Structure 1
């Protein structure tokens, strides 16, 4: 019994690591007032970039860096469309998600079925994610730059009056969010499943967006939330192995979980913690 509990906890941490990494990026995005629903696409591109570099150059460090760079560049494209061109952020994010999945699926055909002979250890990713959650909590609540970021997400006009370049702060937050999504993708293709398969993100990007809402935009609560979702993922696969339920039902579980989480968030009223200016475009000088 104890062994089974420890095994479940171990797998929950493993499943939860990419969720935590991606959700921390989403959290910083949204604390600045920016919505980016393209996490799934950025994760897929990051996973492919990491696996491609690890396979060709045999450098895990370079693979992780490139995955983060690819995620950041994709996010900056979203930032340009929404912050500079002032397009609808929800539409842009959905387009980025579909574009990222399509590009990763197309370019990744040459690596389909390939595996890494020296996978990256999962533990450093998990430890780094936990440490980063603590660092981001301290950044948001104990530093002036963190206060600036939160003020931009709450009242960009007031921050503008105080001399803060709102759009620049949001661009930095968007780039960070993309880099974290790319890092989450790198974990999937380098450590969790050291191989490349199309669709390997399996809805994790969407769940990371819901997770941020569920935990009330708190980095520390995101740690517990990611472990909780990781446990649900583990149970999903255990049930799939031990039941005769159609596999299509289990494939739909990530999206069902998103609906459940959003419903629970509504009941718990965690949406009251949302940044006041979330999803609202702003240009300098506007009131």
Structure 2
């Protein structure tokens, strides 16, 4: 009897398509900013011209000024923003992420549109605006680098503001006593490391909630420095609160490059140290065995312990290194900006540095770019105030914090902190 049954091949189970989730926040933020700028131009048109100055009087190459009609230029840029928003919405609808280049184009166009409108009838010094932004970003960058190191090792560093403030205090005190900017910088770094050590003792050794410890340390440093200022520094200002300052030190040849030179290479020593710190931290974190151990401790401390890495010792060392770096950022306030210490002079910059850590997705280079963005917002409010911008002064004071909220809430997209960030490690 013949076998009439036919073996039909069984189709393989269909592999489900993997859909990468995309965030709608960038496209929503793009739309909000575009509408706000459009409404701004409609309600308050500016008939004057806006002039952008691209050189300083001391530049070897004098670039010509660019003058544009404020309203027309702003409307052209608003249309460009609308096109970027439409492209972001299309990327979202097709399941794609908003590309980085689109975010950069949108941000540059939005800032330029606002500047065209706000500086109408005046001359905007682009070199001063961007160079000042780099200088103001120095403490934010150093604080963000300290935060990145701590959190990569698994310790949430809310105490960045305390490290910056205590570093500023120590820089003023030590610099005044010794009469040396470098001694003041060393004192600032030691002060930042001391705050980091206190954070480590409570968070790593005694398993106290790291967020609570960080907030308490910030308040403690504010209290100590305010008391010392009123009782020690203020009565003896000439001897204890008059440190020397780092002067600008242009780099030959590099400082003469048009636009880029005056912005990046006519700065103080602390700015050049910032460049070096960013490069060294990024290289060490991703290209060395030490960096691999730090990242392993922050991601999976139990597995790191299994292969012989001392988890808590690694966290202590990394946290102390981050404190040294953050303390150096605090020296900017008293050795560069103002040659004396004042109460709460950081103005909560440590929290903006913490936002830069999150905005930068716990990466040193991205965190630095975020710090530069916040530094630009801080300097912009000062420049526009000098130009007599119609923007209310209260809003200008809010601008750095508004930019911080919009950046973290709208542009950060999907981000993931190190898996063991904020989790104490108890060795079995």
Q: TM-score, normalised by structure 1?
A: 0.91
CA shift digits 1:209-251 (9 cap, x unpaired): 0001111112122332222211111012234443577766555
What secondary structure is seen at the aligned counterpart in 2 of 1:217? coil
Aligned match of 2:324: 179
Tell me what 1:277 maps to. Answer: 420
**Number of aligned pairs?**
282
Distance 2:199 2:395 in 1: 32
- From 213, 226, 235, the equivalent of 1:92 is 213
For the 8 Å contact 1:40–1:206, the answer to whether it is kept is: yes
Aligned counterparts of 2:244 and 2:296: Cα–Cα separation in 1: 44
Q: Secondary structure of 1:281's partner?
A: coil
1:31 equivalent in alignment to 2:152: yes
SS at match of 2:268: helix
Once the two structures are TM-superposed, the CA of residue 54 in structure 1 deviates from its matched residue by 1.3
d(CA) in 1 for partners of 2:301 and 2:330? Answer: 32
8 Å contact 2:179–2:243 — kept in the other structure?
no
Structure 2: gaps spanning 5 or more residues? 1-52, 56-124, 248-266
Larger relative contact order (CA 8 Å, sep ≥ 6): 1
Which structure has the greater CA radius of gyration? 2
- CA-based RMSD of the aligned residues comes to 2.0
Corresponding residue of 1:13? 134
- Distance in structure 1 (CA, Å) of the matches to 2:155 and 2:243: 39
Note if contact 1:24-1:177 (Cα within 8 Å) is conserved in structure 2.
yes
Q: Which segment is superposed worse, 213-222 or 146-155? A: 213-222
| Of 130, 134, 147, the match for 2:279 | 134
Partner of 1:261: 407
Q: Is the Cα contact below 8 Å between 1:207 and 1:257 reproduced in 2?
A: no
Counterparts of 1:149-228 in structure 2, within 5 Å, are 149-228=294-373
- Please list, as runs of the form range in 1=range in 2, the aligned pairs for 1:22-171 lying within 5 A after superposition: 22-109=143-230, 110-112=232-234, 116=242, 118-121=244-247, 123-171=268-316
- Alignment match, 1:235: 380
Query: TM-score, normalising length from structure 2?
Result: 0.62
